[in-house]
Structure 1
């Protein structure tokens, strides 16, 4: 498949929650501690969600979620592409729709990642400067 075999959509009604839960609960190093109900609440209360879908079947193969005040700040979370669909620029497509082509294009965005720095740098993310502080979860 190529990137032309996929579509991206920001319609929350199109999100296939079982796909999102299935990946976050088993494969995401950052998501396995959350319950299904926690993830359902996060998706339902998200400021914005985007999905990547196979053009032919409509199957969801990628996801990203954002939390925001809707004016100046957004937090990017739970970005993934299912393993069988990687290598088709779907991560870039998700980021383009979420950030560059979305209502938050001019906002300050933050995220946490252990392994996808190269992708996020392409969309303007950089390591924080001395003005940034983080209070870890307890």
Structure 2
């Protein structure tokens, strides 16, 4: 599904994801993704329940991405959300998260994520500290 967003569009077609652009970002920029190999990123992309990319209308260049994995029934995990530095400041991050969690097939799901620096963004969508029923085993990669 393609959704217009100013000079950009959001698209959930996994075949449209520019793997080279995705890898270039994930392998160098985010604190949360640099430990993975390209093969691991490609495996995660292939196994994703849903992906949404952000693309410039003029060039088709991918400037943002989000990935989710899910049981397809009740819960999903939001991962690898980013907007390229060149495209930030135009509301694309908000549009990307909204497209992934509110406008897709998981709109009624319990969504989970980890972030160290984007609490303000995600709180707009109802994300908050976990309640007493949530337990987690930390990653050995952290």
Does TM, scored on the shorter chain, surpass 0.5?
yes
- Structure showing greater relative contact order (alpha-carbon pairs closer than 8 Å, 6 or more residues apart): 1
Q: Partners of 2:99 and 2:19 in 1: how far apart? A: 19
Deviation, 1:33, is 0.4
Shift of 1:79: 0.3
- Which blocks of at least 5 consecutive residues in structure 1 are unaligned? none
Where 2:40 maps in the other structure, the secondary structure is helix
- Which residue in 1 is equivalent to 2:81? 79
Q: Which has the higher helix share?
A: 1
How far off is 1:129 after superposition?
Answer: 1.1
Task: Determine the structure 2 residue equivalent to 1:123.
Answer: 125
Counterparts of 1:131 and 1:28, CA distance in 2: 29
1:70 matched to 2:65: no
1:14 corresponds to which of 4, 13, 16:
16
- Number of equivalent positions: 136
TM-score, length basis structure 2: 0.94
d(CA) in 1 for partners of 2:105 and 2:118?
Answer: 23
With normalisation by structure 1, the TM-score equals 0.96
Following TM superposition, by how much is the alpha carbon of 1:130 offset from its aligned partner in structure 2, in angstroms?
1.1
Using the alignment, how far apart are the partners of 1:137 and 1:78 within structure 2? 16
Could you tell me how far apart the structure 2 residues matched to 1:112 and 1:32 are?
Answer: 15
Specify the alignment match of 1:134 in structure 2.
Answer: 136
Gaps of 5+ in 2: none
Residue 50, structure 1, aligned to residue 37, structure 2? no
What pairs with 1:90-105 in structure 2 (closer than 5 Å)? Answer: 90-105=92-107
